[in-house]
Amino acid sequence: MLHAERLERIRDYLVANKYASIHELAEAFQTSPATIRRSIKELEQKKVVECIRGGAVLRGSGNTFEHPYAIKRRRNETEKKRIAAYAATLISTNSSIYLDASSTVREMTESLISKQGVSVCTNDVLIAGDLSAATNLVVMVTGGVLRQGFYSLSGYFTDQFVGRMQVDYAFMGIDAISTTNGLMLTNIEDIAIKQKIGHMAGELIVLADHEKFHRSAFLKAWDFSEVALVITGSELSDDLYGQYTDLGLKIKRV
């Protein structure tokens, strides 16, 4: 089992069971207690769990809680790749796009390598790195203050950059989608930039795995009417798909 996968599965186990002992986790994942202790210590440093005598409990389950990036990247990975691959098909030659700092949006980089004449702007240093060898693309980075642990840029310089641009498509990530509160985010530092980019884009396209439809978050980013399309996985149930499309949200399941 990969290290990032173990962290994610420990967190999921704690969501379901609230508390787990070292011995219980070692048995559940067929590994040594020493390995479990190291994993729990790392999750505690990332503020995902709280260590207690002999085990751990989940920490931060409210609507401001955000998973560490390593766990975000591994969660629903196959679904995210399908979503990203479809999103890339919407990009035409000689168009301009914005790629948001998002684990799902980052999966688009593999498909973008073969695109011709596309100008890409991003506030994600990992996305910029992924595209660094693509000589057929123009890649621009917004500048700004690096958000530690999440690889995104934000702040004054980011705001100044995006306020002067116009792109054909903005591909954005989101933390939650609600029937009553629209598309939502957990991190207050991101919301102003995301909203500004949405207004500066010809089409705002949101990439969201099916679990986002089961969550709540702290801040509303967009109404359904502001979004051209939400791309999600075929895992989204027919019932939820019907609820949201009846409310006017355009959804493509892939």
Same domain, 111 and 39: no
The verdict on 112 and 13 lying in the same domain is no
The two three-digit tokens of residue 100, written as one number: 């948001």
Q: What tens-digit pLDDT sequence spans the chain (254 residues)?
A: 778 888 888 988 887 776 788 999 999 998 999 999 999 999 988 878 878 777 887 765 565 556 666 666 667 889 999 999 999 999 999 999 999 999 999 999 999 998 999 999 999 999 999 999 899 999 999 999 998 778 899 999 999 999 999 999 999 999 999 998 999 998 888 888 999 999 999 999 999 999 899 777 889 999 999 999 999 999 999 999 999 999 999 999 99
Q: Which residues span the domain enclosing 14?
A: 3-61
pLDDT at 137: 96
Q: Residue 67 falls within a domain, yes or no?
A: no
Answer whether residue 195 is part of any domain: yes
Are both 8 and 41 inside the same structural domain?
yes
| Rounded distance between C-alpha atoms, residue 14 and residue 127, angstroms | 31
pLDDT at 47: 77
| Whether residue 207 sits in one domain with residue 141 | yes
Q: Domain boundary residue among 14, 32, 61? A: 61
66 within some domain: no
The token duo for 191 is 């919301």
Q: Are residues 54 and 81 in the same domain?
A: no
Same domain, 138 and 34: no
Does residue 69 form part of some domain?
Answer: no
Residue 197 falls within a domain, yes or no? yes
CB atoms within 10 A of CB 119: 16
Number of folded domains that form the chain: 2
In angstroms, what CA-CA distances link 168 with 18, 88, 95, 104, 161? 45, 13, 6, 19, 16
Quick one: 117 and 234 in the same domain?
yes
Mark whether 53 and 174 lie in a shared domain. no
Whether 32 and 93 map to the same domain: the answer is no
Q: What is the CATH number of the domain that holds 26?
A: 1.10.10.10
Whether residue 68 is contained in a domain is answered as no
pLDDT at position 118 is 96
Q: For residue 70, tell me if it sits in a domain.
A: no
Q: How far apart are CA 111 and CA 126, in angstroms?
A: 15
Same domain, 44 and 95: no
Return phi, psi of residue 116, to 5°.
Answer: -115, 135
**Of 87, 90, 89, 113, which Cα lies nearest the Cα of 100?**
87
CATH, residue 86: 3.40.50.1360
**Closest by CA position to 115, among listed 85, 151, 143:** 85
Same domain, 176 and 86: yes
pTM over 0.85: no
Cβ atoms of residues 115 and 109 within 8 Å: no
- Domain match, 47 and 83 both: no
Residue 183 lies in a domain: yes
Between CA 109 and CA 87, with CA 138 as vertex, the angle to 5 degrees is: 35
Instruction: Output the six-digit token pair for 88.
Output: 């890339």
Q: What is the pLDDT of residue 60?
A: 56
